[in-house]
């Protein structure tokens, strides 16, 4: 697709949101999702990394049904177990990433659920901490705060960030293997909080998802910097030194010139992104503790040859499962 704004499907148009990635899409009919449409979305995702669709009209059932057409789906069982809660949603394929408690009330600041969700305020790639990482995420808005109260989702273009590194830096980091942990993100999002200073929240007492830092993004052939707020240490390097290096790279990739915010406007808005070439984070706002921000995500396992990283193809453990 040389012309970034054109599509082989009549009426479908891409409207770039940033000079190097992300686009809003018009002309897609989500009342009748076809495999041709899914294939076109995948082709565009290889270019843009992030696609925004407004007022799709999707509900939970059709959200899940469509997501199955993208590939193998991850499920939420380990996360529900990790939070010690029941799933308030209708399907185990729906990740509950909003601020609504299982009883329907708004999650309050300082509760354990809110402390753990703070991880989402930091740039990350979904499931980098699992043996098989996430490929696409499909996030659908159900209930949004009033305008002006925050709650956007911001994305970062890690392919362009890699391109811009000096050749000497590319050579220096080329073979690094990164150990990722959900607990690294949770602890760093709550610095010094004694509730997270237990063994239960100590990354070194749990498994890591091992993935190469520098990888070919197979769908586009470009090189990606696969880093996240989950990144904890680097194989063959002292833990503290590795973390310093990783935090520097995370800050580098999160510079404003590589990032693009997406505002949620209406229920039914859908954003699909490729976790293997972008990062994302939730933007804080005055809605917290006051207004519902109900967003539900399906997560498609990475289907590329890099999916399992160095964790052994077919590994069955996932973070949060005993």
Binding site for Fe ion (CB under 5 A): 126
User: Considering the complex, what minimum distance in angstroms separates the CB of residue 28 from Fe ion?
Assistant: 23
Query: Based on CB atoms, which residue is closest to Fe ion, 37 or 178?
Result: 178
Cβ(137)–Cβ(275) under 8 Å? yes
Q: In angstroms, rounded to a whole number, what is the distance separating the alpha carbons of residues 233 and 177?
A: 9
Question: Which burial class, exposed, middle or buried, applies to 299 when counting CB atoms under 10 A from its CB (0-12, 13-18, 19+)?
Answer: buried
CB-nearer residue toward Fe ion: 7 or 184 = 184
Comparing CB distances to Fe ion, the nearer of 40 and 126 is 126
CB of 274 to Fe ion, least distance (A): 13
- Of 1 and 115, which CB lies nearer to Fe ion in the complex structure? 115
Q: What is the DSSP secondary-structure string of 208-270?
A: -EEEESEEEETTTTEEEE---TTEEEETTS-HHHHHHHHHHHHHHHTSGGGEEEE---STT-E
Tell me the CA distances in angstroms from 131 to 10, 179, 305, one per residue in order.
Answer: 39, 11, 13
C-beta of 73: minimal distance to Fe ion in Å?
Answer: 15
CB 315 to Fe ion: min, Å: 21
Of the pair 96, 126, the CB lying nearest Fe ion is at 126
Pairing status of strand 13-16 against strand 222-225: unpaired
Report, in Å, the least distance between residue 120 CB and Fe ion: 6
């Amino acid at each position: 697709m040389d012309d970034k704004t054109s599509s082989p499907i009549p009426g479908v148009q891409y409207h770039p949101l940033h000079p190097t990635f992300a686009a809003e899409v018009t002309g897609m009919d989500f009342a009748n999702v076809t495999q041709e449409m899914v294939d076109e979305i995948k082709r565009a995702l290889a270019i843009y990394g992030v696609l925004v669709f407004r007022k799709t009209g999707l509900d939970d059932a059709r959200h899940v049904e469509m997501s199955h057409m993208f590939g193998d789906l991850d499920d939420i069982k380990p996360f529900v177990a990790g939070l010690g809660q029941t799933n308030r949603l209708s399907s185990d394929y729906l990740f509950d990433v909003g601020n609504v408690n299982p009883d329907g009330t708004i999650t309050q600041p300082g509760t354990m659920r809110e402390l753990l969700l703070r991880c989402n305020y930091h740039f990350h790639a979904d499931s980098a901490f699992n043996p098989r990482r996430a490929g696409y995420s499909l996030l659908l808005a159900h209930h949004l705060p009033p305008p002006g109260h925050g709650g956007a989702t911001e994305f970062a273009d890690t392919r362009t960030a890699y391109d811009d590194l000096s050749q000497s830096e590319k050579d220096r980091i080329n073979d690094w293997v990164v150990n990722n942990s959900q607990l690294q993100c949770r602890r760093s999002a709550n610095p010094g909080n004694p509730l997270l200073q237990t063994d239960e929240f100590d990354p070194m007492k749990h498994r890591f998802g091992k993935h190469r830092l520098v990888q070919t993004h197979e769908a586009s052939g470009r090189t990606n910097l696969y880093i996240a707020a989950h990144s904890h240490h680097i194989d063959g390097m002292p833990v503290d030194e590795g973390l310093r290096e990783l935090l520097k790279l995370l800050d580098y990739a999160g510079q404003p010139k590589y990032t693009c915010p997406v505002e949620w406007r209406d229920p039914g808005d859908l954003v699909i992104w490729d976790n293997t070439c972008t990062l994302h984070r939730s933007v804080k706002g005055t809605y917290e503790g006051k207004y519902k921000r109900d967003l539900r995500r399906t997560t498609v396992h990475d289907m590329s040859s890099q999916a399992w990283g160095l964790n052994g193809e077919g590994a069955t453990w996932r973070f949060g499962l005993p």
